[in-house]
A and B are shown apart, each in its own frame.
Chain A
Amino acid sequence: MTIAIVLGAITLLVAGFVLWPIFQNRKQSDQTKNVDAGAKAGSTGTQTAQAETSSDILDADDEMLRDLAVYRDQLSEIERDIERGVLTPEQASAARIEVQRRILNADQRIKKDVKAHPKPKNGTALRPMAAGLFVLFLIGGIGLYVDLGSPTMPDRPIASRGDEINAIRQAQAMDQDRKEVLNRAVSDLSQKLIENPDNIKGWELLGASLMALGRPAEAQTAFLEAVKLSGRDGDYLAMYAESLIRADNGQINAIARGALNEAAKSDSTDPRIQYYLGLADIQDGNYEAAIDRWIALANGAPADAAWLPMVVSRIQDAAAAQGIDIEGRLTVKQAPPMVAGPTEDDIKAAQEMTPEERQEMIASMVNNLAERLKDNPDNPEGWARLIRAYSVIGDREEAQSAYESAHRQFADQPELLSRLNGLASELGLKIVE
């Protein structure tokens, strides 16, 4: 809205400035008419006003004056040339005669010109026409801006984008923390599993942690232990297969295929089994089979399954790419429109954790951070991250108390305090005086 007012004001200002002489002259010629009609012609006031609008700039006298100015300067330059010794007095007088000849010529020409162009009548249709032309251009310009411009789009100077930058830093920091937690989990679990190698859950957790750390080749050993210990349980076979696939950059090799087929025969309902079997079909070039498999998977899935939209959109992509008609075969609701098909990374992220797991992970990360700050409290960045993290997971009380602890910790550093207070007010916490 503001932008419309500003742009409108600019437009009016510009149009007003440009068209002012036309407008003013109109007013004045009306006045002149009135004066002419009312009193004797030639009131001094009107004459001055007319001179200001330069309605007489085309007079012969004025044109002569303008030309004379040049010739006069040329005459005075002849004088200077004599002074300089460039011209002898004879040459100078010749030059003077030439200038005078030019003055006479100019005088004749101007008189002829003015006769040839009689003064136009005032207030012809010419001026409104010119103003109309201008307005026409103006309308065209406004139309062009409406077409090309983005009037509703605000400026985005980098200084105003602190939140975005913070969010990315935060995400990076969280990722770092998560990795730390996972690494610690991996080393703890490995230790425990050496002591007690029959713990199936332990192997599963180790495998999942390694997968989350992006180390699928190591994860596959852990999952293989779980498969063996569980008596070839379908769920563990699926996990094992996934780690093999991931380690092979998404290629489904013979071992993974064997594991998936074996899992499919078990009573496991893990969606990964059918999903990866479908992917294996696609890698064999058997799109029909893959689509059949995935449609069955999608139709049998709970409506709120987190992975469902991803599978649906893969079905649609594969069908569209191969020109296979799946009209009416999918009984689930249409996948929400995705801008682009999910990438391999999206699948990984979606499959890495369930929502509960994610929540747990964050909570453990936050606790971990809190622990570390208790041991080593001189870490302003850490405190800021902790306060933010508590408020992200919705724990306002903890956020408040973390903020207060930090406030005590840095009581003697006013610069840090002001930053902390800024953060607190941004998150809506109570400011400590």
Chain B
Amino acid sequence: MIVEIGHYALILSLVMAFAQSTIPFIAASRRDPVLLTVAPRLAITCFALVAASFLALTYAYVTSDFSVLNVLSNSHTSKPMIYKITGVWANHEGSMLLWVMILTLFGGAVAAFGRNLPPTLLARVLGVMGLIGAGFILFIVLTSNPFDRVMNPPLDGEGMNPLLQDPGIAIHPPFLYLGYVGFSVAFAFAVAALIEGRVDPAWARWVRPWTLAAWVFLTAGIGLGSWWAYYELGWGGWWFWDPVENASFMPWLAGTALLHSAIVVEKRDALKSWTIFLAILAFSFSLLGTFLVRSGALTSVHAFATDPTRGVFILFLLFAAVGGSLTLYAWRAPTLKGGGLFQPISREGALIFNNVLLSIAAAMVLLGTLYPLLLETLTGEKISVGAPFFNATFVPIITPVIIAMAFGPLMPWKRADLFAVMGKLKIALAVTVVVVLVTLWLSGGPAFAVFGMGLAAWLFVGSILEWAGRIKLFRESFATSFRRMRNLPRSAHGTMLAHAGVAIVVAGITGSQAWTEEAVQSLSVGESTQLADHTFTLSGIREYQGPNFVSREATVTITTPGEKTIVLTPEKRVYTVEGMPTTEAGIRSGFTGDIYAVIGDQDESGKWITRFYVKPMIPWMWTGGLVMVFGGLMSLSDRRYRIGAPVRSNKTSAKPAPAE
């Protein structure tokens, strides 16, 4: 019965979504105070119902109820409990349900925390979210219903793609979706503002935390995804410019621009049109990503949905949402009144520069992602656009952004003196020169590596300098600096951390791309090979039985003169139910880099094919990502993001309540 309750709750949530996409708009346009209070109730109920249906599906997975087709096709009794639970969203239907649950969660949260928003704005925001929800719940119910039943269920399921049976990939989709769907809040606010015809500081104040939260999740999701690819796919790669990766990267770029643009609206009452546009863009990219992944238009490791009716449905949703919002933008945006004036050289100007370049970068990624699809649709020719294209287009666009990132936070609002700002960056320039020279001396190249390391040093030191300048580090006593640091708003720490995080990522990418060494060879047990300074010895092979797989585990001993011996145990697993092999790389991470070992099959002579890599600086990438996420969280926790709650019922006294 629980399964059927789940199915019913899903359909009821569709009812709520339909009501939510009509009644609030009526209420807002007629300014009916009673109907305006119905809107938040609809949003909260919609979330409760979707959550109930998600829990019901989870229950079916946990209890291995194979009368549910979705469970039958994607689960198995021998699967460990954790993957029974994560199996709920490791398939098309379940992941769409997760998507919608997160969407309605955000809608419910806006409804619950939005009581001090202008009620008509709140109603319209919820209305827009209701429209998105209605489209996607309808999509689930009609084309991807996870509650389809089987009359005579077999006694066991068909199992789950073993690549997805991994803790990293298990939490990757929820993070990614929290990011993707988080932008729906900014989108809804943008569309609602276009309908209302005004964007005021209160609006930006609301959009920013939601955007920042979405950005934090998306950053974490992308980081997790690349980390998983790195250790699970077994070729040591971490980013393939795969269309599905691009699909998550485009909203990230647009969201990053949005985040910065919203600051200007909040602080300077300017760049309203830009901010609205970026909010529409960020969520449109999220929808595009959903379309690319879910339609099966692409064939990649991620594409586990191939059904044209689904593709057409999502394509229609995509056109309706993007086309509708952009039309509204073209129509209403000119009526938005611009606020504060500023000079081209100013914080605002720097942020416009940032907006423009990040948008162009996103457009480049979009071109590289969609061009092969369009070409194939039009001419039938299959081409693949890979790293060379993106290196040639994306890197030149993003490089000036990184250079400017050191300047931006040092620039005052309204008008700035570029030479004064450069003066503050003298130390950064000096450190950059030193890093470039040291890199040249130690490695002798390649040129891009020297350049990349210099770029990273410039941004890292620049970010720290801005922060250090604020706390007057080394200019005052240490105690004073410490006190000033404690007084600094958390968003200032957040900016510094996020920017420094980018620098660390740049260094990690540069180092690992430039100086990775690899060796592929056949070894008998006991034989060794030499790579970089290390001696890799295959010291043993054993087989063992896991809960739902059999594994061949190699023991690789790595000795380095003057260092401790390292033992790695790479595995090759075969999942018995699915009959699929997976690679579990053996990785030792350190400050300077990773040592990475993969065990393959036996060759004709009975030797084991092994692959060893030495990847300098690669952990810096994920460390940098973590630092960025931490910076975002720091900023999110800053007081100024909190909504000052006016005491509404206290209207007899005209004096506002004291600030919290």
Query: Chain A residue with minimal CB distance to B22?
Result: A133
Instruction: Indicate if A41 sits at the interface (CB-CB under 8 A).
Output: no
Query: Chain A residue with minimal CB distance to B4?
Result: A151
Task: Give Cα A11 to B489, complex, Å.
Answer: 48
Query: In chain A, residues 58-92, which have Cβ atoms closer than 8 Å to a Cβ of chain B?
Result: 58-59, 61-63, 65-74, 76-77, 80, 83-86
Q: Which residues of B contact A66 (CB under 8 A)?
A: 116-118, 202, 646
Instruction: Indicate if A392 sits at the interface (CB-CB under 8 A).
Output: no
Task: Give Cα A278 to B117, complex, Å.
Answer: 84
Q: Is the CB of B33 within 8 A of A158?
A: no
Contact with A along B114-127 (1 / 0, CB 8 A): 00111110000000
Q: Which residues of A contact B285 (CB under 8 A)?
A: none
Give the Cβ gap from B241 to chain A, nearest Cβ, in Å.
40
* A164-B644 CB under 8 A given contacts A56-B33, A73-B659, A158-B64: no
Instruction: Indicate if A292 sits at the interface (CB-CB under 8 A).
Output: no
Query: In chain B, residues 1-53, which have Cβ atoms closer than 8 Å to a Cβ of chain A?
Result: 1-5, 7-9, 11-12, 14-16, 18-19, 22-23, 26-27, 30-38, 41-42, 45, 49
Q: Is the CB of A73 within 8 A of B340?
A: no
Binding site for A on B (CB under 8 A): 1-5, 7-9, 11-12, 14-16, 18-19, 22-23, 26-27, 30-38, 41-42, 45, 49, 60, 63-67, 77, 116-120, 141, 145, 147, 149, 153, 155, 198, 200-202, 205, 269, 340, 470, 484, 487-489, 492, 640, 643-646, 648-649, 651, 654, 656, 659
Binding site for B on A (CB under 8 A): 2-3, 6-7, 10-11, 14, 17-22, 25, 51, 53-59, 61-63, 65-74, 76-77, 80, 83-86, 98, 102, 106, 109, 117, 119-120, 124, 126-127, 130, 133-134, 137-138, 140-141, 144-145, 148-151, 153-159, 161, 164-165, 168
What are 27 A-B interface contacts by the 8 Å CB criterion?
Answer: A2-B1, A18-B38, A18-B41, A54-B36, A57-B33, A57-B36, A57-B37, A57-B119, A66-B118, A66-B646, A84-B484, A84-B492, A85-B470, A102-B201, A117-B31, A119-B31, A124-B32, A133-B23, A149-B7, A149-B147, A151-B4, A153-B149, A155-B1, A155-B3, A157-B65, A161-B155, A165-B155
Total inter-chain residue pairs, C-beta < 8 Å: 201
Query: Chain A residue with minimal CB distance to B658?
Result: A72
Give the Cβ gap from B363 to chain A, nearest Cβ, in Å.
34
Q: Which residues of B contact A72 (CB under 8 A)?
A: 644, 656, 659
Give the Cβ gap from B443 to chain A, nearest Cβ, in Å.
41
Q: Is the CB of B41 within 8 A of A17?
A: yes
Query: Chain B residue with minimal CB distance to A65?
Result: B646
Q: Which residues of A contact B11 (CB under 8 A)?
A: 141, 144-145, 148-149
Give the Cβ gap from B114 to chain A, nearest Cβ, in Å.
11
Q: Which residues of A contact B7 (CB under 8 A)?
A: 145, 148-149
Q: Which residues of A contact B651 (CB under 8 A)?
A: 56, 59, 61-62, 65
Q: Which residues of A contact B8 (CB under 8 A)?
A: 7, 10, 145, 149, 151
In order of increasing CB-CB distance, the 6 nearest A-B pairs are A157-B63, A141-B15, A158-B64, A156-B67, A69-B644, A69-B646
Query: Chain A residue with minimal CB distance to B469?
Result: A85
Q: Which residues of A contact B155 (CB under 8 A)?
A: 158, 161, 164-165, 168
Task: Give Cα A63 to B656, complex, Å.
Answer: 12
Task: Give Cα A154 to B324, complex, Å.
Answer: 43
* Most chain A CB atoms below 10 A, which of B2, B3, B147, B153: B3
* Most chain B CB atoms below 10 A, which of A11, A71, A148: A148
Q: Which residues of B contact A11 (CB under 8 A)?
A: 12
Q: Is the CB of B18 within 8 A of A137?
A: yes
* A63-B118 CB under 8 A given contacts A144-B11, A145-B8, A149-B147: yes
Partner pick for A21 among B5, B34, B340, CB 8 A cutoff: B34
Q: Is the CB of B201 within 8 A of A70?
A: yes
Q: Is the CB of B1 within 8 A of A6?
A: yes
Q: Which residues of B contact A21 (CB under 8 A)?
A: 34-35, 37-38, 41
Give the Cβ gap from B625 to chain A, nearest Cβ, in Å.
29
Q: Is the CB of B1 within 8 A of A14?
A: no
Task: Give Cα A85 to B646, complex, Å.
Answer: 29
Task: Give Cα A21 to B23, complex, Å.
Answer: 13
* Most chain A CB atoms below 10 A, which of B33, B49, B119, B269: B33
Q: Which residues of B contact A156 (CB under 8 A)?
A: 65-67, 153
Task: Give Cα A141 to B16, complex, Å.
Answer: 9
Query: Chain B residue with minimal CB distance to A67?
Result: B202
Q: Which residues of B contact A145 (CB under 8 A)?
A: 7-8, 11
Task: Give Cα A77 to B60, complex, Å.
Answer: 51
Q: Is the CB of A154 within 8 A of B1?
A: yes
Task: Give Cα A78 to B656, complex, Å.
Answer: 18
Partner pick for B205 among A18, A70, A124, A141, CB 8 A cutoff: A70
Task: Give Cα A227 to B504, complex, Å.
Answer: 89
Task: Give Cα A168 to B16, complex, Å.
Answer: 45
Q: Which residues of A contact B67 (CB under 8 A)?
A: 153, 155-156
Partner pick for B37 among A53, A63, A133, CB 8 A cutoff: A53
Q: Which residues of B contact A153 (CB under 8 A)?
A: 3-4, 67, 149
Give the Cβ gap from A134 to chain B, nearest Cβ, in Å.
5
Query: Chain A residue with minimal CB distance to B651?
Result: A61
Q: Is the CB of B644 within 8 A of A67?
A: no
Q: Is the CB of B656 within 8 A of A127?
A: no
Task: Give Cα A150 to B148, complex, Å.
Answer: 9
* A65-B648 CB under 8 A given contacts A149-B4, A161-B155: yes
* A155-B145 CB under 8 A given contacts A25-B34, A80-B489, A127-B32: no
Q: Which residues of A contact B487 (CB under 8 A)?
A: 83-84
* Most chain B CB atoms below 10 A, which of A55, A155, A165: A155
Q: Is the CB of B23 within 8 A of A73?
A: no
Task: Give Cα A72 to B201, complex, Å.
Answer: 12
Give the Cβ gap from A166 to chain B, nearest Cβ, in Å.
11
Q: Which residues of B contact A138 (CB under 8 A)?
A: 12, 15
* A69-B116 CB under 8 A given contacts A74-B201, A141-B14, A148-B11: yes
Task: Give Cα A120 to B29, complex, Å.
Answer: 11
Q: Which residues of B contact A109 (CB under 8 A)?
A: 198
Give the Cβ gap from B4 to chain A, nearest Cβ, in Å.
5
* A150-B4 CB under 8 A given contacts A120-B31, A157-B63: yes
Q: Which residues of B contact A159 (CB under 8 A)?
A: 63-64
Q: Is the CB of A140 within 8 A of B15?
A: yes
Task: Give Cα A18 to B34, complex, Å.
Answer: 11
Q: Is the CB of A54 within 8 A of B12?
A: no
Partner pick for A14 among B22, B45, B60, CB 8 A cutoff: B45
Partner pick for A144 among B2, B14, B200, CB 8 A cutoff: B14
* A10-B9 CB under 8 A given contacts A69-B656, A138-B15, A157-B65: yes
Task: Give Cα A77 to B118, complex, Å.
Answer: 22
Q: Which residues of A contact B37 (CB under 8 A)?
A: 21, 53-54, 57
Q: Which residues of B contact A151 (CB under 8 A)?
A: 4, 8
Give the Cβ gap from B78 to chain A, nearest Cβ, in Å.
11
Q: Which residues of A contact B200 (CB under 8 A)?
A: 67, 70, 106
Give the Cβ gap from B359 to chain A, nearest Cβ, in Å.
28
Query: Chain A residue with minimal CB distance to B122?
Result: A57
Task: Give Cα A63 to B493, complex, Å.
Answer: 34
Q: Is the CB of B1 within 8 A of A3?
A: yes
Q: Which residues of B contact A119 (CB under 8 A)?
A: 31
Q: Is the CB of B145 within 8 A of A22?
A: no
Q: Which residues of B contact A57 (CB under 8 A)?
A: 33, 36-37, 119, 648
Task: Give Cα A151 to B45, complex, Å.
Answer: 22
Q: Is the CB of B35 within 8 A of A127?
A: yes
Give the Cβ gap from A67 to chain B, nearest Cβ, in Å.
6
Task: Give Cα A21 to B66, complex, Å.
Answer: 42
Q: Is the CB of A58 within 8 A of B119?
A: yes
Task: Give Cα A420 to B34, complex, Å.
Answer: 66
Q: Is the CB of B34 within 8 A of A22?
A: yes
Partner pick for A126 among B14, B30, B65, CB 8 A cutoff: B30
Partner pick for A150 among B118, B149, B648, CB 8 A cutoff: B149
Q: Which residues of A contact B205 (CB under 8 A)?
A: 70
Q: Which residues of A contact B117 (CB under 8 A)?
A: 66
Query: Chain B residue with minimal CB distance to A7?
Result: B8
